[in-house]
Amino acid sequence: MSDAAVSLLILLAVIVVFIWNKLPVGLVAIITALTLYATGLLTLEQSLAGFGDPVVVFIASLFVVSEGIDSAGVTTWAGRWLLDKVGGNPKVALIALMLMAAVMSALISLNGAAAALIPMIVVMAMRLGVAPGTLLMPMAFAGSAGALLILTGSPVNVLVSQAAADAGAGAFSFFSFTIVGVPLVIVTIAVVALLGPRLLPQRTSSSAPPDLSEHADTLAEHYELVDGFFRLRVTESSPIVDTALGSLDLAGYPGLRLIAAQRGLERLPSSTELDAGDVVVVTGPDDEVARLAAAQALDVTMRPITRGSDVLVGKTEGVAELVIPPRSPLVGEAVFPGMLRGSDLLVLGIRRRGKERGARTTVLEEGDSLLVHGSWAAVEELVDHRDVLVVNSPDQLRRQAVPLGAKAPVAIAVLAGMIVLLAFNLVPPAAAGLAAAAAMVLFRVVSAGQAARAVSWQTVILIGGLIPLSTAIQTSGAAELISDKLVAIVGDGHPILVLLALFLLTALLGQFISNTATVLIIIPIAVAAASESGVSPLPILMAVAVAGSASFLTPVSTPANMMVLGPGGYRFGDYWKLGLPLLVAWLLVALLIIPRVWPL
């Protein structure tokens, strides 16, 4: 059997396994790369080269950039701004979201836009009272159209432009794709707005992130943060120095009550004599606390953190609810509201068996819950703490409740810098993406661990494992074989038939393998077909780019489609219902516009 036949059989097997949908797509990609090596079609280096391909590196870096934008609260701000503008109208919100997805896809790629927008869209769906599935698939489809707005909107565009230059027709300019991209965005929004309500599923996924935008107020009410507490530091001139804590007389201050005292991070027994630097924690009316502080030479180091307080959840500080698990070392430890734990965590409240413990010392038991307050860095570190269980992700709380966080200007500047590098082609896309991702970590917009978790490794493995398949199809002669058959089928008819045939072939393959891999497979076929038919490669390659982005029929066709699969509650067969009419609409746009702008 010839190498061309073997490579085509492997391609067919990959498509069948994807449709079967019983194996993880990343595993299929790895098996594909190993099969290419085992059959001798590629060397080991060629079979693994996809994982180091600049396209894969670029896509991986974009996940980190998107994480930085989302982590800094930029997407939360954009979502709130969008909600304020569209009000509670789901139809208007749908159109606005699709426009936003299209623009963001052009700026940070479809995959990056999807990664950044999904959490915001799920929360927005909850507030609008609609299923997330009615918004997430339209977002992914609009993003596919937006990726065609500019040259750097998609790796596919870059590949096609380079292919045009290699074919001697000259590369496409930065805004060449805009000519066809704008009509495609408009058509996509129109088709989805018209058919989406009837064709999209109304399921709600159990994996959708919770709405935590009002979570801080919920916690404040749950832990009855009404009066709060004051932390008062004993100064050297204070008359209560050398006074036993249990002997501290607050009778002259109506409503004022002693909670406890701390020396450093240790709780003081009532028999301990107070010393300069000790902290006394009290609760009561503000005016009485002020009188006490003035009379006893105490410094007020912390005022109450109550419901509605600006510092409960802010740009630099946040809260977390913790549960004491069985066998935790914290069982048996005495804590109280106002107690400082560690260098940057303050206990705000304690609950046991569903009841708030109030302003008193509590010896912790299994199942007790605590509300703690501190810097976002300290609060988020609790997620990895083995002694406690964190009820809700502080990271999600910060993203949803704090629009335009402290690092938002830095994140926006990094994104803008990446766009400039890409728009003016100052460096290769992979270099621009890596520089932006590194800057996000360097300027502490995201941590190194957060950056690693942000990357969709399934997407990276999928694309990296399938790029060698494109190499095999090109080097084995399968590309020329398909090209000859295609031209023979079309015959000597109108050149538009060549464009139509290549569009359909690209779109078909693009439903089962990544659009980048699809275009890599089709490019040599398209250039050969254009040469044999005596037509310019420019319209043919532009049609390939459009068809490569028209990946609407399956969840495995683009990483963005995969990303919305879980949060949207979709099934494999949900995509083609809306995707098929949209694919037909894209075909019509391509046939109407491309031959008029780039004559055949």
pLDDT for res 34:
94
Contact 305, 349 (CB under 8 A): no
Backbone angles phi, psi at 570, to 5 degrees: -85, 160
**Helix, strand, coil percentages for the chain (3-state, nearest 5):** 60, 10, 30
Backbone angles phi, psi at 201, to 5 degrees: -70, 155
Kindly state the helix (H) or strand (E) to which residue 414 belongs, with its residue range: helix 408-423
Contact 347, 337 (CB under 8 A): yes
Enter the tokens of residue 113.
């836009």
Q: What one-letter code names the amino acid at 507?
A: A
Q: 235 and 287 share a domain?
A: yes
Split into its structural domains, the chain has a count of 3
Question: Quick check: is 417 in a domain?
Answer: no
pLDDT for res 206:
59
Enter the tokens of residue 23.
């194996």
pLDDT for res 542:
95
DSSP string, 208-244: SPP--TTHHHHHHHHTT-SS--EEEEEPTT-TTTT-B
Contact 144, 185 (CB under 8 A): no
Q: 112 and 243 share a domain?
A: no
Residue 288 makes CB contacts below 8 A (sequence gap 6+) with 253, 254, 255, 256
Question: Quick check: is 87 in a domain?
Answer: yes
Enter the tokens of residue 291.
């009188």
pLDDT for res 60:
85
Question: Quick check: is 525 in a domain?
Answer: no
Q: 335 and 268 share a domain?
A: no
Q: 295 and 344 share a domain?
A: no
Q: 322 and 284 share a domain?
A: no
Alpha carbons 253 and 276: distance in angstroms, whole number: 22
Q: 106 and 155 share a domain?
A: yes
For 373, counting Cβ atoms within 10 Å of its Cβ (0-12 exposed, 13-18 middle, 19+ buried), the class is: buried
Q: 175 and 87 share a domain?
A: yes
349-395 confidence digits (pLDDT tens):
899 988 888 888 899 999 999 999 888 888 888 888 888 999 888 87
Q: Residue 343 sits in a domain of what CATH number?
A: 3.30.70
Question: Quick check: is 275 in a domain?
Answer: yes
Question: Quick check: is 361 in a domain?
Answer: yes
Q: 202 and 108 share a domain?
A: yes
pLDDT for res 528:
80
Contact 305, 348 (CB under 8 A): yes
Distance between first and last Cα of the chain: 37
pLDDT for res 98:
94
Q: 205 and 106 share a domain?
A: yes
- At 391 the three-state DSSP class reads coil
Q: In what order do the strands lie in the sheet with 230-234?
A: 266-267, 257-263, 279-283, 230-234, 298-302
Question: Quick check: is 198 in a domain?
Answer: yes
Question: Quick check: is 437 in a domain?
Answer: yes
Q: Distance of CA 136 to CAs 28, 80, 311, 403, 556, Å?
A: 25, 17, 34, 21, 15
Tell me which residue of 440, 550, 431 sits closest to 70, measured CA to CA.
440
Question: Quick check: is 599 in a domain?
Answer: no
Range of the domain at 281: 230-302
Helix ranges, 259-348 (H): 286-296
Low-confidence residues of the chain: pLDDT under 50: none
pLDDT for res 367:
93
- At 375 the three-state DSSP class reads strand
pLDDT for res 407:
87
Q: Residue 270 sits in a domain of what CATH number?
A: 3.30.70.1450
Query: For 274, which DSSP code?
Result: P
How far, rounded to the nearest angstrom, does the alpha carbon of residue 305 sit from its chain's CA centroid?
31
Q: 380 and 352 share a domain?
A: yes
Q: 204 and 126 share a domain?
A: yes
Q: Maximum CA pair distance of the chain?
A: 105
Q: 128 and 179 share a domain?
A: yes
Alpha carbons 593 and 182: distance in angstroms, whole number: 11
Q: Which of 302, 325, 343 is the last residue of a domain?
A: 302
